[in-house]
Amino acid sequence: MSTDPEIRDELRTSVRRWVAREVLPVVGDLERADEYPADLVAQMQAMGLFGITIPEEFGGLGLDLLAYIAVIEELAAGWMSLSGVINTHTIAASLIMREGSPEQQARWLPGLAQGAPRGCLSLSEPDAGSDTRNISCRARRDGDEYIVSGTKTWVTNGERAGIVALAARTDEGITCFILEKEPGPSFEGITVSKNIGKLGYKGIETVEMFYDEHRIGADCVLGGDAGLGHGLGFMLGALEVGRINIAARAVGVARAAFEHAIRYAQERSTFGKPIAQHQTIQNKLADMGTKLQAARLLTEHAATLKQSGARADVEAGMAKLFASEAAFEIATEAMRIHGGVGYTTEFPIERYYRDAPLMIIGEGTNEIQRLVIARGLLQRYAV
Ligand SMILES: Cc1cc2nc3c(=O)[nH]c(=O)nc-3n(C[C@H](O)[C@H](O)[C@H](O)COP(=O)(O)OP(=O)(O)OC[C@H]3O[C@@H](n4cnc5c(N)ncnc54)[C@H](O)[C@@H]3O)c2cc1C
């Protein structure tokens, strides 16, 4: 069901005001300290942002993906890491909304809607990032339980999450488990074996997790017994929401970089006039503004299609591919327009420049997006 555009706009405006009031004054310090933004996350919880797309019957806001991407854009324009706190949480919730049995939905969605517990997605492994069919983490059946063994990596939110949407190999193929744990560096047979240092995307943890014969109930198989062996398909479907999220974050980062650049270009003078009056700078601004607008429209189109229930792999891939490359180019051009100060930590441009590449790599690299897009186009235009 689509959300009234007025409600979407109200939500966007209130998140934009919150970002201006609460995030922008502290983001520089949090970024430099690589500090988890506990206070901000608590406020996001109070605003209901962990349950934007979760139906009201489970305590969520029950809004559509267009409302979701509006919020993600606003958060990312303030600090991209905040949108990452919500992303894999929302993917885990989407998996349960889409594929969970009624009992599983009643068991997990009310908590996820409140952001307590928080969710994360654990698909990637050291030897299986793009090549997800190659995962080796195993879950072997033992009566009413499964015993999980293996190493997962790149788990964003993994340490603080209480729900893990985990891909593991069972006799039937790749299966998705919804695993419950206590937040923290270790819980029963699960250990956070490494906190991965990153170029950007600071403040939010991305970790390696080791499963040492960890036991979970057979009732944690997503979709029940019928879901056995279908986990990869479930996850790839939910990753369309993840790719739309990445596109929306890229729009947020690109917008922030563009707005800084167009303001600075009018304030900074060289050779007797504002640099915005030099044609070379105008060309840059024109290209940046055009790419930003195109990225936003592609993202909105993908969200609209996915919301309708239609398959959106091609459109989500196009939005993610274009918006992330645009964000990287716009951040780079914003740095050029700022000259030397763009390279300093006095301005946020260097942060946009460090954050942008994640959108090129995360949720499936852009090389993989091109494969997905081309495959879909060839099917549509088959001769
Ligand atoms: C900060 C961060 C957070 C992340 N968070 C999560 C998370 O929460 N959960 C999760 O499950 N994963 C997460 N990931 C993992 C992410 O999805 C993978 O890093 C990504 O899919 C790429 O996998 P890889 O790193 O193994 O690269 P590889 O698969 O090793 O790829 C290396 C290079 O080869 C290219 N390549 C690979 N195969 C092909 C092909 N067939 N054709 C053309 N080119 C190809 C790739 O595009 C890339 O350029 C995260 C990653 C990062 C960096």
Q: Do residues 149 and 212 lie in contact, with contact meaning Cβ atoms separated by under 8 Å?
A: yes
Whether residue 291 is predicted with pLDDT greater than 90 in this model: the reply is yes
Mean pLDDT over 64-87 rounds to 97
How much distance in Å is there from the Cα of 94 to the middle of ligand 1? 21
Catalytic residue of the set 315, 325, 333, 363: 363
Nearest CA to ligand 1 atom 44: 367
- DSSP per residue, 233-296: HHHHHHHHHHHHHHHHHHHHHHHHHHHHHHHHHHH-EETTEEGGGSHHHHHHHHHHHHHHHHHH
Q: Return the half-sphere exposure (C-beta side, CA atoms, 13 A cut-off) of residue 144.
A: 2
Q: Is 259 one of the annotated active-site residues of the chain? A: no
Mean pLDDT over 228-240 rounds to 95
CA distances from 211 to 92, 168, 186 (A): 19, 11, 10
Whether residue 71 is predicted with pLDDT greater than 90 in this model: the reply is yes
Render pLDDT for 293-313 as a digit per residue (tens, 0 to 9): 999 999 999 999 999 999 999
Residue 46: which pLDDT band, with cuts at 50, 70 and 90? very high
pLDDT at position 28: 97
Whether residue 350 is predicted with pLDDT greater than 90 in this model: the reply is yes
Where do the domains of the chain lie, and which CATH numbers do they carry?
5-114 (1.10.540.10), 119-231 (2.40.110.10), 236-380 (1.20.140.10)
Phi-psi region of 203 (alpha: psi -120 to 50; beta: other; left: phi over 0): left
Report the chain's mean pLDDT, rounded to a whole number: 97
Share of the chain above pLDDT 70, in %: 100
- Global pTM reads 0.97
Q: Could you identify the residue written with the tokens 């009413």?
A: 144
Residue 2: which pLDDT band, with cuts at 50, 70 and 90? confident
Residue 1: which pLDDT band, with cuts at 50, 70 and 90? confident
Mean pLDDT over 363-371 rounds to 97
How much distance in Å is there from the Cα of 130 to the middle of ligand 1? 5
**3 state DSSP class of 334:** helix
